[in-house]
Amino acid sequence: MINQYSRYVDSALLNVTVNKKTRKVIVPSPAQAYNITYRTYLVAEYDTLDGLADQFYGSATLWWKIADANPEILDWHTLTPNMSIRIPVTA
C-alpha cells in the first residue's frame, strides 16, 4: 500500500520476481502537466525542511512537496536566514 501522503499516491504497485524473490515496486504514473500555486517564504534561523513541512502542512513527512517546488536547492542542510523559497499551497 502506498501512503496517502506519498508523492507516489497516484502510482501503481507491481509484483516483480528476480532470482525467485518477489517484491513490490512502484510504477510511477505518467507525467502530467500541472500548475503549482505557491507562496514565497523567507527562511528564518533554525528552519529545517521537515520543520517547514510540519508548520505548513501539519506533517513533517510532506517535506518533499517543498523540495519539489525548489529544485534549484540541492542541499537542504544549508538553509540560510532570509533565503527565499517557494511553499506550495494545498487546497
What domains, with CATH codes, occur in the chain?
Answer: 33-88 (3.10.350.10)
- The tens digit of pLDDT for each residue in 39-86 reads 999 999 999 999 999 999 999 999 999 998 998 998 988 899 999 999
For residues 88 and 41, the answer to whether their CB atoms sit within 8 Å is no
Which cell numbers hold the place of 71?
529544485
* Calpha distance 19→65 (Å, rounded): 36
The torsion angle over the Cα atoms of residues 41, 42, 43 and 48, rounded to 10 degrees, is 0
* Calpha distance 30→58 (Å, rounded): 28
Radius of gyration, alpha carbons of the chain = 16
| Pick from 33, 32, 31, 43: nearest CA to 70 | 43
Give the model's pLDDT for residue 24: 85
Give the model's pLDDT for residue 40: 97
